[in-house]
Structure formats: C-alpha cells, structure tokens
Amino acid sequence: MKIILTVLVVFSLAFAQDLPGWGFYGGIGMNNAKISLSSFPSTKPLTGILVGVSKGVMLGGMPLFVGAGLGQRGYKFDQDGVKAELSMNFFDVWMVIPYPIGPAMVWAGPGFGLFLNGKRKMEMGPFSEEEDPDEGFDEPEFGIILGG
C-alpha cells in the first residue's frame, strides 16, 4: 500500500500544473444581439473581433481565469427592401472556472460588458442613413460564458 501511495503522490506532483500567467486572447465571434418582437424581422449575427488579456488566479483554493478586453457585437436584417445593421463595441470583463473532463477542459462563468460606441446603418430603397447610437445603451450588459 505504501508503494502505491508513493507512486500516486509522485505522479500527482509530476503532472501538477501552474496557473497560466498573463496572456493575450483574440478571435472572431458570432456575437448576436437578439430582438424578440413579433413585428420585428429575424436578425442575423454580425461577425465581430475579440481581443484582450487574461490571467490565471487562485481564489480561496479555486482556480479561475479572469480577463478583460474589447468585443464587437451586432446584427443585421433585410426584409421587404429595408436593410439595417447595428454594430457595437464593448469593454468586457469576465471570469470563468475551468473544469477538466478527461484530456479536455471546459469552463463557465459570468461576463460583464460596458458599451463604448457603435454604428447604425439603414437603407430603404434610394434612401440611406448612418448614425452613431448614443441612446439605449446606458445599462451594463451581463451574460454567461461557456467554452471548451
């Protein structure tokens, strides 16, 4: 029994991993703004860029990944000759808890976003309009992050 316990302890220490230090992340996301109104046409997500920094930390013995960065969100629709597009830039702060499942890892946690700026475009036949939306985005955005 002593030999088995010794072997398990040695292998546990040999394969233990440190938390990741500072890192950069980036990518492309299909971050959709959903509108649920019966009179509103269905929307399609805009592809947006995500960039930021992240770090592994310990909180009360629990490993966490935390990060902050810039994320783009938006949608577009085209119905009955009316085309519209809304793209928005947010400052995002997030925290996830990693869960190892076999050789892979999944994570989940909360996210928080603050609206920075955006662009709204609309075309209706020969008319087109473009503006910077400044109303209706005062409230912070909360969400759940799932990944693997």
The number of domains in the chain is: 1
- Residue 2: inside a domain: no
- Residue 1: inside a domain: no
What is the average pLDDT score of the chain?
81
- Tell me: pLDDT of 38 over 60: yes
- Residue 23: inside a domain: yes
- Tell me: pLDDT of 103 over 50: yes
Check if the beta carbon of residue 32 is closer than 8 Å to that of residue 75: yes
- Tell me: pLDDT of 89 over 50: yes
0.85 surpassed by pTM: no
- Residue 79: inside a domain: yes
**Averaged over 1-13, what is the pLDDT?**
49
Which residue has better confidence, 39 or 68? 68
Check if the beta carbon of residue 50 is closer than 8 Å to that of residue 29: yes
Compute the chain's Rg from CA coordinates: 22
- Residue 4: inside a domain: no
Rounded to 5 degrees, what are φ and ψ at 52? 175, -170
Rounded to 5 degrees, what are φ and ψ at 21? -80, -155
Contacts of 136 (CB under 8 A, 6+ apart): none
Would you put residue 80 in left (φ > 0), alpha (ψ -120 to 50) or beta?
Answer: left
Range(s) of the domain holding residue 34: 18-147
- Residue 6: inside a domain: no
How far apart are the C-alpha atoms of 21 and 23, rounded to whole Å?
6
- Residue 10: inside a domain: no
